[in-house]
Structure 1
Amino acid sequence: MSLVDDTVARVHPVDGAARAAAAERLDRMTKPAGSLGRVEDLAITLAGIAGQCPPPLPVPATVAVFAGDHGVHARGVTPWPQEVTAQMVGNFLAGGAVVNAFARSLGPETCTDVVVVDVGVAAPLTGAPGLIDRRVAAGTADMTAGPAMTRAQAQAAVEAGIATADELVAAGSRCLVPGDMGIANTTAAAALICAFTGASPEAATGRGTGVDDVTLARKVEVVTEALARHAPDPADPLGVLAAVGGLEHAAIAGFVLGAAAHRVPVVLDGVSVGAAALAAVALAPDALGYCVAGHRSVEPGHTLALAHLGLTPLLDLGLRLGEGTGGLLAVPVVSAAARALQDVATFDAAGVTEKE
């Protein structure tokens, strides 16, 4: 049995009894019923994930930024040069990126670390201190000329994500936040979203780093070409990833599966992570119960992915950066939901009279 098959077999449904106990406790807490809105839904979700009420606090969290390059870059889908992927990996490792700043703002008790995982950066990164080397290939191939990767490479990348989740949970992480880095990866993300949701390339393809109208039209054309060439079958998630995905998308899908297998919440970020979550849930439908949508990206494909998954984002701040930034900003809300179930007194315990 492969690591993917073994992990999928360990993904079980969330605990319905714990969810029911959380809902009952929320109604007895010293507040009007339902007054915490979607925070109450989140608290119930966390209880179901943990299999107990109240659930443990989902901290510390760890952000894992998965990095890879894309052969479709050659089609002119972005004005950013490909070497920026490797340069940004260096920036993450030096602590100079936005996700590093956000992590520091939360403090070590809430976010222990930002780790960077090389699954497919084109430039060699050997010897970079602090880098997790799970390199599968030096980037993908151009998905309009052939498959982005072989099926074996797609599986290896998924397993790289699973191994990363296993390692972080073993080290004490109680909440996982996936992030992405890869110039041109929103083009692959759009193709994945189309493949799994049935959306059109025009609806799913966005401006990514802020491309102009001409480049956006080229992105739509490229996604259309790739889908026509491969006709990816959503019933074969590994095949979809191999045909039009990125190495980082495949690794993030594995990361989501790993979190679910360990009954640890995974707080999703933007469009690339959303596309990867579609693949993860296609591989193991019960993994959906362990996913929390951290925010809504302005990328149109992200809204399509969240709708297909049935997830409502906690935040909507107009972000479109990636890196795990939007997911990380939602971690305090996730923690507060669990804290409320732990700490808020019930009417009977506090001696507070309930309404008639």
Structure 2
Amino acid sequence: MELKDIVYNITPINDDVLEKAKEKTSRLIMPYRALGYVNDIAEKLCAIYSTLEPKIENKGVFVMAADHGVAEENVSAYPQEVTCEMIKAFIEGVATINALARLNNCFTIVADVGSLCDWKNISNLQKSTFIVNKVKNGTNNFTKQYAMTRKEAIQSIMIGFDIANKYIHSEKLNLIATGDMGISNTTAASAIGACITKNEVELMTGQGTLITDEMLKNKVLIIKKAINLHKPDPDDAIDVLSKIGGFEIGAIAGVILAACYNKIPVVIDGLISTSAALLAYKLNPVTKQYMFAGHLSKEKGHNLMLSYLDLKPILQLDMRLGEGSGAVLSMPIIEAAAKIITEVATFEQAQVSKSNL
């Protein structure tokens, strides 16, 4: 398949089932919409799965990793070598996302789609499913040239789609989450967010790895310089990705497309993943119907991105880690929503008088 075929074949969620789910929710033995947003989550699950009895069986988190040429511009508190070191931690199963995934019985797939790392003899370390499928070793410094070619941008999306599509089928996943790793990727994500949402760069750009105020000023200037130099078209996702994006961001967009294509929900993590969600949305606005926002990141521009997508975060814990941590943490609430609409009795079934609640 080509990208255009995937995008074309993503169809809306089932509106008829959505209305039936809302009607069912109104008859559950509780005051009307007493569970608030949990009711909304349950109804959306019904519409995605096209059933009034949604069942979440197998979960997976896809952590996409890559390096960024813009790291040369002193926009991160950590050196670029940390990308490789953190990927190794994911592989060994000792990072935060590994612990959270184990807690939630969530299958973890780690993919290097464009780092500077050399993975010779890595097989002895693996405790997570690890895939190396690089577009190339890191993006270009987008203050000087396009981050990647248009062909590479499409390739990064297709790599993410193919990886997710494969494991959705082989592991029978019906709820997936997105995760990321890549030093300086908040710079690329903020640039994408500013471009697509048309918010000011200052409003979209935060401190990432807790950089100093001076580094933050530099980061803002770097993003402005790139946008002014390359003038990415906010309505052309491939143009935006190729000029100011990252390989892992493209791959995450591909993971999101795979979920939508297979008609399963996808939980979006923080700033990086949401920048990829913006790209997926620009490729096909229907993709938003399959997305849940796992949490609201402490990273400055995340709320603006979620507002643009009209997505309500499930959690707000002042997190800013990435890796898929907030997305996986929110999964139990999504599972609870499915259990409630499936297992809680209606007034009629329980013979409870509605007028007394």
TM-score by length of 1: 0.96
Matched residues in 2 for 1:127 and 1:316: separation? 40
Residue number in structure 2 paired with 1:165: 164
Residue number in structure 1 paired with 2:75: 77
Matched residues in 2 for 1:168 and 1:340: separation? 28
Matched residues in 1 for 2:260 and 2:164: separation? 10
| Structure 2 unpaired stretches of 5+ | 124-128
SS of the residue corresponding to residue 103 of structure 2 reads: helix
Residue number in structure 2 paired with 1:89: 87
Matched residues in 2 for 1:105 and 1:52: separation? 27
SS of the residue corresponding to residue 301 of structure 2 reads: helix
| Structure 1 unpaired stretches of 5+ | none
> Given the alignment of the two structures, is residue 64 of structure 1 paired with residue 65 of structure 2, yes or no?
no
Matched residues in 1 for 2:332 and 2:120: separation? 35
Matched residues in 2 for 1:309 and 1:127: separation? 42
CA offset digits 1:216-254 (Å, max 9, x no partner): 111001000000011110121101000000000000011
Please, what is the CA RMSD of the aligned residues? Answer: 1.0
Q: Which amino acid aligns with 2:93?
A: G
> Given the alignment of the two structures, is residue 247 of structure 1 paired with residue 247 of structure 2, yes or no?
yes
Residue number in structure 1 paired with 2:130: 131
Matched residues in 2 for 1:52 and 1:215: separation? 50
Q: Which amino acid aligns with 1:4?
A: L
**Any conservation in 1 of the 2:112–2:132 contact (CA below 8 Å)?**
yes
Matched residues in 2 for 1:137 and 1:50: separation? 37
SS of the residue corresponding to residue 25 of structure 2 reads: helix
Matched residues in 2 for 1:52 and 1:191: separation? 39
**Any conservation in 2 of the 1:257–1:280 contact (CA below 8 Å)?**
yes
Aligned positions of 1:33-52 closer than 5 A: 33-52=32-51
**Any conservation in 2 of the 1:136–1:156 contact (CA below 8 Å)?**
yes
SS of the residue corresponding to residue 28 of structure 1 reads: coil
**Any conservation in 1 of the 2:77–2:210 contact (CA below 8 Å)?**
no
Residue number in structure 2 paired with 1:116: 110
**Any conservation in 2 of the 1:69–1:183 contact (CA below 8 Å)?**
yes
Matched residues in 2 for 1:136 and 1:68: separation? 9
Residue number in structure 1 paired with 2:8: 9
SS of the residue corresponding to residue 286 of structure 1 reads: helix
Residue number in structure 1 paired with 2:30: 31
**Any conservation in 2 of the 1:68–1:85 contact (CA below 8 Å)?**
yes
Matched residues in 2 for 1:153 and 1:52: separation? 38
Q: Which amino acid aligns with 2:73?
A: R
Q: Which amino acid aligns with 1:307?
A: S
Aligned positions of 1:202-351 closer than 5 A: 202-351=202-351
Matched residues in 1 for 2:263 and 2:311: separation? 18
Q: Which amino acid aligns with 1:44?
A: E
Matched residues in 2 for 1:127 and 1:30: separation? 57
Once the two structures are TM-superposed, the CA of residue 78 in structure 1 deviates from its matched residue by: 1.1
Q: Which amino acid aligns with 2:188?
A: A
> How many residues are matched?
350
Q: Which amino acid aligns with 1:47?
A: C
**Any conservation in 1 of the 2:157–2:252 contact (CA below 8 Å)?**
yes
Once the two structures are TM-superposed, the CA of residue 54 in structure 1 deviates from its matched residue by: 2.1
**Any conservation in 2 of the 1:86–1:125 contact (CA below 8 Å)?**
no
Residue number in structure 1 paired with 2:126: none
Structure-2 change in CA distance of 1:316 and 1:23 (3 Å): same
Residue number in structure 1 paired with 2:19: 20
Matched residues in 2 for 1:127 and 1:67: separation? 19
**Any conservation in 2 of the 1:22–1:54 contact (CA below 8 Å)?**
no
Matched residues in 1 for 2:96 and 2:339: separation? 27
Matched residues in 1 for 2:253 and 2:120: separation? 24
CA offset digits 1:300-327 (Å, max 9, x no partner): 1111110000001000000000000000
Once the two structures are TM-superposed, the CA of residue 127 in structure 1 deviates from its matched residue by: 4.9
Once the two structures are TM-superposed, the CA of residue 128 in structure 1 deviates from its matched residue by: 2.8
Matched residues in 1 for 2:120 and 2:271: separation? 29
Q: Which amino acid aligns with 2:284?
A: A
The more displaced of 230-239 and 307-316 is 230-239
Q: Which amino acid aligns with 1:252?
A: I
SS of the residue corresponding to residue 314 of structure 1 reads: strand
Matched residues in 2 for 1:85 and 1:254: separation? 21
Q: Which amino acid aligns with 2:131?
A: I
Matched residues in 2 for 1:23 and 1:55: separation? 14
> Which of 85, 96, 99 matches 1:98?
96
